[in-house]
Chain A
């Protein structure tokens, strides 16, 4: 039996026939596979628990039905408590390696106490030929002055489904930077919704993807400004090759009272195949006068002059595409801890370029 969810809901609806108001997915209700994360860490100060810690906090981004599904089905529940004034930012890596038919639902609470800092990486992967299902909810509370860098890398197999949900609540002067890299899975959903509640709270959301084969990537990012002088930045960058498709929703939502706040949103999409399809819905919702909100998007193909140059050097169109994808992958590797770079390399060869590893 499956649960049907309208995931990645657009905060304000628009024309229904474009099919961007939500993404309908079906998640299995069968018992989850027990997958134990390999926790690779050099960080000795963070406290790990096998229970939930943020049930009392309200996150505006929590979709009730999704939250209920995760809470009822989660077979992996963890909390990470980063103690007050912690300055150890060595990466704490959660490495989840799923078997080809695994179904895993995961709840992760991250609590950053006052003036603490942390660097957390969640990596989910499986073999290239996999029908795995992965759904998570990562809840974050960043107390006053706290700072978090969170990276979510998803390298599931070609027929898998992935749904990576992040909700965060930021107090005064807190900063949360999220990087999502949904490289794998046939259906890859990623979402991050930030509640900027405190004075000068600051959120950065960055998403990097390489759409390939018949992959369907669905992104939903929201920065909700409540506190005064809050800052947000949403950046989405990616390539769409083969018959892949991608829908990106990005919303800057200024609530009354968030005086002096600034929100920026930008998107760059490179279309590498005539069968690829891109939908972008960048929203700015504004209920406050004293703010600045900007958005910019560029969707296009490779510059003809560059192509011409490469051709003049003997590089045909397919090889040129390969070059651009290689460079994109290299850039992603640079954003991750070294120990995950090899995983990306393998994935790159096996799935993107169909080469044996």
Chain B
């Protein structure tokens, strides 16, 4: 068993040193806190973006003010947009070599293991620090196939500008909800990926988002277009140090999966526990296309996160596999939405959630089968594990079926770790904490086995950190 588990078992807090380090804000440029038209115009001006984008931002701002905060979900009254700085620019330009990245920022990503991962197991990396990308690179062999992986702002000024205009916030319109509108108004940074027809990117691409500035928001936009018959695995990581003021993440991910294409989108979300994570992710899948989500949510103070898949073409498929671990001070409301909008579409949703040390974990889902989705099939399975008697776990699934010849299944269970299993493992020489950690790792195994090895290890480490001190 690991050294960590051999430590004093009465630790009551979680060791997050891996993520919880801060860097100063030397020479950073920060706009005033709050949300005004002037701030939106300032952000737009800094990016030298096309006129339609400014128009889009201003329209989104208007919508933001018109829409209400959701009346369902966790309480977000602690989030005051007047205190949030929507734009923080590090004092550097985007680099294509780590050596060109300022030392303190490079050190941050070194500690998070990003350059090392790039060397061993990634085909390209984008790294965002606060509001701007600081590093972006793609392997030559992948670029030679015609795969585009760049900063979205950079792409907006290049040959793919029209393609971006055609797709930008079309899946997630600003009218979708208040924080989509906020994103539309102040978005900054993020990645653009285009995979040409029948091209397979064998090794994953990864974007990593780091929020360093206290009281700031991060609003990156990720747009991925996987053309007909192409294959891609994209990994998204994110983290932030903990501050005693609220930070906000309202990013947006739009994924277009073409006919017969395949996209896997993996996320390990480990924001700090002062973060309001109000992120929106959506994918549209055409005929015979496949969309796979693999998602681990460990961080944030409050999360509203429901990646949505629109199965828009015949025989399109979606798989959603996720784990959520809510610890002390966390209220993580996560899940998914699936829209079956074409015949013979299918989806499988498999989620696990754990609650510990007073944390609240909520699984929320919506599966809609429209009149067009004849012969479609969907199965939703959610399992929740309560690790103590101070925590809370809710499941709130919804099924809306408007077609007769379909097959819709749902199963859910909530419970705690079986005492007999713990007793058995203890009889084999494990401590109670070790036994419970082993069982929780087994519970999470269906998710971790879907991740690349390095990320599965990271997820298991996160579980181990969360479990540390669970037996006092």
Cα-based distance from A283 to B396 in the complex (angstroms): 5
The yes or no answer to B413 lying at the interface (CB within 8 A) is: yes
Q: Mark A256-288, 1 if CB is under 8 A from B, else 0.
A: 100000000000010111101111111111111
Residues of the B chain whose Cβ atoms lie less than 8 Å from the Cβ of A15: 72, 366, 398
Closest residue of A by beta carbon distance from B409: A298
With a CB–CB cut-off of 8 A, which chain A residues contact B393? 286
CB contacts (< 8 Å) of B401 on chain A: these are 269, 271, 277-280, 299
Chain A 83-125 per-residue mask, 1 if CB under 8 angstroms from chain B, else 0: 0000000000000000000000000000000000000000000
Asked whether A292 lies within 8 Å of B72 as measured between CB atoms, the reply is no
* Interface assignment of A291: CB less than 8 Å from any CB of chain B: yes
Cross-interface CB contact of A291 among B388, B397, B415, cutoff 8 Å: B415
Interface presence of A300 (CB below 8 A)? yes
A281, A292, A293, A297: the one contacting B396 at CB < 8 Å is A281
Given contacts A289-B389, A289-B416, A295-B411, contact A274 B404 (CB under 8 A): yes
Q: Which of B72, B73, B404, B414 is A273 in contact with, Cβ under 8 Å? A: B404
Q: How far is A283 from B393 in the complex, measured between Cα atoms in Å?
A: 11
Residues of B within 8 A of A13 (CB): 71-73
Contact between chains at B408 and A300 (CB < 8 Å): yes
Cα–Cα, bound, A301→B399 (Å)? 15
Q: Which residues of B contact A291 (CB under 8 A)?
A: 386, 414-416
With A18-B366, A273-B404 already in contact, the answer to whether A296 and B411 are too (CB < 8 A) is: yes
Tell me if A294 is interfacial: C-beta within 8 Å of chain B: yes
* A12 lies within 8 A of chain B by Cβ: yes
State whether the Cβ of A354 lies closer than 8 Å to any Cβ in chain B: no
Interface residues of B in 364-402 (CB under 8 A from A): 364, 366, 371, 384, 386-389, 391-402
Question: Shortest beta-carbon distance, A257 to chain B, in Å?
Answer: 9
CB contact list, A233-266 vs B, under 8 A: 254, 256
Quick one: given A15-B72, A274-B371, A289-B388, are A297 and B398 in contact (CB under 8 Å)? no
Give how many B residues have a beta carbon under 8 Å from the other chain's beta carbons: 37
Contacting residue for B413 out of A278, A279, A280, A292, CB 8 A: A292
**Which of B391, B392, B394, B406 sits near A299, CB closer than 8 Å?**
B406
Asked if A20 is an interface residue, CB under 8 A from chain B, the answer is: yes
The B-contacting residues of A in range 2-41, CB under 8 angstroms, are 12-16, 18, 20-21
B145 within 8 A of A: no
Question: B-facing mask of A51-65, CB < 8 A → 1, else 0?
Answer: 000000000000000
- B29 at the binding interface (Cβ < 8 Å): no
Contact of B398 among A271, A276, A281, A300 (CB under 8 A): A281
A264 to B399, CA, bound (A): 18
* Cβ-based interface call for B403 (8 A): yes
Q: How far is the CB of B360 from chain A (nearest CB, A)?
A: 9
Residues of B within 8 A of A300 (CB): 406-408
The answer, among B72, B386, B408, for a CB contact under 8 Å with A14, is B72
**Distance in Å: Cβ of B181 to nearest Cβ of chain A:** 16
A13-B72, A20-B398, A286-B392 known; A301 and B406 CB under 8 Å? yes
- The reply on A129 being an interface residue by CB < 8 A is no
Give every chain B residue within 8 A of A279 (Cβ-Cβ): 398-401
Collect the chain B residues with CB atoms within 8 Å of residue A269's CB. 401
Contact B410 A280 (CB under 8 A): yes
Residues of A within 8 A of B104 (CB): none
Chain A residues with CB under 8 Å of B391's CB are: 289
Measured between beta carbons, the chain A residues less than 8 angstroms from B72 are 12-16, 21
Contact B396 A12 (CB under 8 A): yes
Give CA–CA (A14, B371) in the complex, Å.
Answer: 23
- The answer to the question of B76 belonging to the interface, with a C-beta cut-off of 8 Å to chain A, is no
Interface check B412, CB cutoff 8 A: yes
A67 within 8 A of B: no
A290 sits at the interface (CB 8 A): yes
| Residue of B397, B398, B403 ringed by the most chain A CB atoms within 10 A | B398
Determine if B386 and A286 form an interchain contact, defined as CB atoms under 8 angstroms apart: yes
- Nearest B residue to A252, CB-CB: B414
B404/A286 in contact, CB under 8 A: no
When chains A and B are docked, how far (Å) is the Cα of A272 from the Cα of B403? 9
* Distance from A318 Cβ to chain B, minimum over Cβ atoms (Å): 14
- Expressed in whole angstroms, the Cα–Cα distance for A21 and B396 within the complex equals 12
Contacts A271-B404, A273-B404, A287-B392; A282 near B410 (Cβ below 8 A): yes
B405 within 8 A of A: yes
Instruction: Report B-chain residues with C-beta under 8 Å of the C-beta of A271.
Output: 401, 403-406
Q: A297 is contacted by which of B389, B394, B409 (Cβ under 8 Å)?
A: B409
Contact A301 B416 (CB under 8 A): no
Residues of B within 8 A of A12 (CB): 72, 394, 396
Q: Give the docked Cα–Cα distance between A14 and B366 (Å).
A: 10
Chain B residues near A295: list those with CB within 8 A: 395, 410-413
> Is the beta-carbon distance between B411 and A294 smaller than 8 angstroms?
yes
Nearest CB of B to A259, in Å: 8
Q: Do A294 and B413 have beta carbons less than 8 Å apart?
A: yes
With beta carbons under 8 angstroms apart, the residue of B73, B403, B408 that contacts A298 is B408
**CA–CA, A63 to B97, complex, Å?**
64
Cβ of B399 and Cβ of A278 under 8 Å apart? Answer: yes
Cβ-closest 9 pairs across A and B:
A13-B72, A271-B404, A299-B408, A297-B410, A293-B414, A289-B386, A289-B389, A295-B412, A278-B401
Which residues of chain A have a CB within 8 Å of any CB of chain B? 12-16, 18, 20-21, 254, 256, 269, 271-274, 276-301
Chosen A-B contacts, 23 in total, with CB atoms closer than 8 Å, are A12-B72, A15-B398, A16-B72, A274-B371, A274-B404, A274-B405, A278-B401, A279-B400, A281-B398, A282-B412, A283-B397, A284-B384, A284-B414, A285-B394, A289-B388, A289-B389, A289-B416, A293-B415, A294-B414, A295-B410, A296-B409, A297-B411, A298-B409
- Starting from the known contacts A13-B71, A14-B72, A289-B416, 11 additional A-B residue pairs (CB-CB under 8 Å) come to A14-B364, A254-B414, A278-B400, A282-B410, A284-B395, A286-B386, A290-B416, A293-B415, A298-B409, A299-B399, A299-B406
